[in-house]
Structure 1
C-alpha cells in the first residue's frame, strides 16, 4: 500500500485562500510575489474562475505563460483569464489596484515544457528565480510590436483540421474584438490541412512580419498554392520554410513555370531565410535555378528530399552563392543513379569548411559514382553526421569510402548500407556473410582510425517498411 505525500503548508494555505472569495480580493494586493505562481496554478486546476480574473489583474510578472496550464483546466478557466485581461486593454490599469500600473505585458501561449509551472512554483516558493523564467525572451524579440499596445499575445498556430479547436476559436474571437488594443504575435505557423479562406481569416489577425517559421504540408492544388504564395513575401522575418507534398506534375509546363516564377519571386523579400526544406515537391524538376537565383542570403540548412532533380539542377545548386555556408545538406531520396556527381563534388568542396550534417540516403548512388565525391568528402573536417544508407555499393567501395573519412575527427555518427555482397540473389540479407564482411571491414577501419559510432543498415523490410541497423558486430542491433 502506497503512502500519499501530505500536502505542503503552502498548498493548504492556497486552497484556504481560494475558498474564500472575499479573502482573495482583500489579500491579493499584499500577497507575496513568490506565492502567485503556485496559487495561480491551484486556481486554474481547481477552476476557480473568479479568483483567476483577479489574479490576472494583480499578476506581478512581465509574462504569463499559460499554455502548459490549459490541459489542467477547461474552456471556462481559459475564458476567465481573458476576461481578467480586459481591464488592462480598456483602462490600462487594474480596477482593483488602481494606484499602480499593471505589470503584465505578455500572454504567452507558445509551447513550453509541461512541467514548467511546477518547476516555477517550487523555485519561487524556495525564494529563487528559475532559469526557465530568466531565459524567457523579452517582448522586444517581436519585430512588429507597437509601444502603444499594452498587451502582446504570443502563440504558435497549428492549423490542421477543418474546424478550429474551441480554445483557439475562443482566443481568435477575443482578439478580433480587441484587435486595436493588443498585438497577436505568431512566430511559428504550421498548416497541415485547412481551407484557404479559413487560413486567410486567421492571418488577417496576425502581423505577418512576426512569423519566423512556416510549415505547409497539405495536398493543395496549384490554384490554391498560387493564392497562398503572396503571403510568404509578407513574412519578411521568415527564417525557416518547410514545404512538403506538393504535386503539380499534372499541370501543363507553362502553368508550372508561371507558379515557380511567382513562388521564387517571394524569396527576394526574405532577407533572413536560413533554413529551406522542400520534401516531395514536384515543381523543382528543371526549375531549381529559378528558385536559387532568388535567394539573397546565405542558407544554413538546405533539405531537398524525395524530389526529382535533373543534372542541370545539381549544376545550378553547386553554383549558387547562397549555399556556400551550409551546415546541413540533406538530399535524401533524390535519385542520382544516372547523373554525373561532379556538381555534387563541386558543392561539397564549396561547403567543406562549414558542413556538419550530410545525408545522401536512398539516392541510388552506385560504385562507379562514389569515387567522384570522395576527395571532396574527405575535406569536410567539420562533419559530425554522415548518412549514406540505401545506396547499392559493394564491400570494396564501402571500404574505400570509410578510408576517405579517416581524417574527419569530428564525425560522431556514420550510417552506411550493408554491402551488396551481403545479400542473396533474392535480395535477402545473409546474416552470416554480413557478419563476416562486417568483421573484416571494422578490423580494417580500426587499423586506420578509432570510430565513435558506425551503424550499417539493411534495405527496407517489405513487411514492416523499416530498416534494421547493426553496430560494429552483427549482434549489436537497433531499429
Structure 2
C-alpha cells in the first residue's frame, strides 16, 4: 500500500483476526507471513526468492508436507513492516498496527528488517521496539545527535539486534567513560555486523580501541567521520584484525596533519588487497602524508574510487599522486583538491586560474598515456558541513 491506507489495513487485520481466533487451522491454510512493507515493483521477485535480503528462516524454510491429514496448531504469524520513527509520534498507520499487535502478542511476531530513527525521543523508541522481534532487524540508522544518556538507554536494545549487518549512528560530543563502555560492549553481540558508519562519534576520542576490541566479524565498510581521533586511535585502527578485509574506508573530517605520516601508510597496507573506496576529505592531509602513503596506495589493486577534497596538497604532490595511481586497473572515480598554489583570497577558483590548472593537469595525464577522468574541487575555505562535490571541475584525457 503506497501511500499506506488505514482503512485497507483495518480490513486486512480484521480478516486476520478471524484466522488468529482459531486454535487450529485447516489442512490447506498455510499462511505464515504478512508483508506490509512498500516493496514497489519488486514484490513478486522478493517472494520468488530472488532478493537476497529476504532470508528469514520463515521465508526460506519449506512448508512441511501434511502427511497426517490432521489439523495443525497455528504457528505465530510473522508481520513484516518498515519502521521510520520520525519526530515525536508515529503516523496513524503504524500506531494502529502497533496497538493491534500488542493485543495479540502470543499470535504474531512483529518483524522489521530496516529500522530508521529520525528525531523521535528515546523513551518513545523504547516503547515501539518493545513490540518488535529485535533479532529480525538487519539494518539500523539513527540519524539524530543523541546525548550519551539516550545512547546508553538505546545500547541494550542494540545488543539484542543480534543479526544487524549495517549500523549508521550520529552521536554526541559528550565523553562519559561508563557510557562508552556500555555502548561499545554491545558490539560483542553483533556477530553479523559488516558495515559500520559513525558520524561525529566524539565519545570515542582516545577510546577507539574499546570499540575495535569488541568487533566480532570482519567489516566490509567502516566510516568514522568529523570527530577528533588521537594518534593512538589511528594506531589501534591500523592494527585491528577486523579491518583487514575492508572494501570501503571513510575518515573524512578526521584531522591527520599532526599525526606521524607512517600511520596512514600502515593503515592502507592493511587493506590494500580489498579496498575499493577511499574517502579522506577534509583531513588536512599535507604533502608529507601523501609521500608516505603513495607506495601503499599504488598496491590497492581493487581501488575504484578515491576522494581527497579539502586537503592541503601542492601541485608536486598532486602529480606524484596521479603517477602512483595510474597503474590501478579499476580506478574510475578520482576527486582531488585544487593545489595550494591556486589558493587566493577568493573562496572559489577564478576562471583564469582554473583554465591554467586544467592545462597543467591535462599535460600530466597526457604524459601518463592512458584514458583518465579526474574531478577537481575548486572551492577553498571549506568548513564542516559543506558538500565536497558541489564545486567540481571535470578534467578528462582521451588519447587521440
TM range (shorter): 0.7 to 0.9
Give, in angstroms, the shift of residue 218 of structure 1. 2.1
- SS in structure 2 at match of 1:246: coil
Of 14, 17, 22, which residue of structure 2 is paired with 1:91? 22
Distance 1:275 1:132 in 2: 23
Could you tell which deviates more after superposition, 308-317 or 212-221? 212-221
Give, in angstroms, the shift of residue 300 of structure 1. 0.7
Of 125, 140, 147, which residue of structure 2 is paired with 1:214? 140
The answer for the alignment partner of 2:67 in structure 1 is: none
- SS in structure 2 at match of 1:453: strand
The answer for the alignment partner of 1:40 in structure 2 is: none
Give, in angstroms, the shift of residue 211 of structure 1. 1.3
Give, in angstroms, the shift of residue 197 of structure 1. 2.4
Q: Cα gap change, 1:221/1:143 in structure 2, threshold over 3 Å: closer, same or farther?
A: farther
Give, in angstroms, the shift of residue 329 of structure 1. 0.3
Gaps of 5+ in 1: 1-68, 118-129, 250-255, 475-479
Q: Return the structure number with greater helix share.
A: 1
Give, in angstroms, the shift of residue 264 of structure 1. 1.3
Give, in angstroms, the shift of residue 116 of structure 1. 5.1
Distance 1:307 1:319 in 2: 20
Q: Does the 8 Å CA contact 2:264/2:289 hold for their aligned counterparts? A: no
Q: Deviations over 1:375-408 (max 9, x none)?
A: 1001000000111111121111111110010110
Of 82, 86, 98, which residue of structure 1 is paired with 2:13? 82
Distance 1:219 1:277 in 2: 14
- SS in structure 2 at match of 1:248: coil
The answer for the alignment partner of 1:447 in structure 2 is: 367
The answer for the alignment partner of 2:34 in structure 1 is: 107
How do 1:9-408 residues align onto structure 2 when only pairs under 5 Å count? 69-71=1-3, 74-91=5-22, 101-113=28-40, 115=41, 131=45, 133-134=47-48, 135=50, 137=54, 139-140=56-57, 149-249=75-175, 256-408=176-328
Q: Cα gap change, 1:138/1:218 in structure 2, threshold over 3 Å: closer, same or farther?
A: closer
Distance 1:141 1:307 in 2: 42
Could you tell which deviates more after superposition, 130-139 or 263-272? 130-139
Distance 1:235 1:195 in 2: 19
Distance 1:418 1:111 in 2: 44
Q: Does the 8 Å CA contact 1:246/1:282 hold for their aligned counterparts? A: yes
Give, in angstroms, the shift of residue 280 of structure 1. 1.0
Distance 2:347 2:2 in 1: 52
The answer for the alignment partner of 2:69 in structure 1 is: none
Distance 1:303 1:141 in 2: 33
Distance 2:267 2:7 in 1: 56
Distance 2:263 2:74 in 1: 53
Give, in angstroms, the shift of residue 426 of structure 1. 4.3
- SS in structure 1 at match of 2:79: strand
Which fold has the larger relative contact order, with Cα–Cα distance below 8 Å and residues 6 or more apart in sequence?
A: 2
Q: Does the 8 Å CA contact 2:348/2:380 hold for their aligned counterparts? A: no
Give, in angstroms, the shift of residue 459 of structure 1. 2.0
- Bigger Rg, structure 1 or 2: 1
C-alpha RMSD of matched pairs (Å)? 2.7
The answer for the alignment partner of 1:468 in structure 2 is: 391
Distance 1:258 1:356 in 2: 36
The answer for the alignment partner of 1:32 in structure 2 is: none
TM-score (norm 2): 0.88
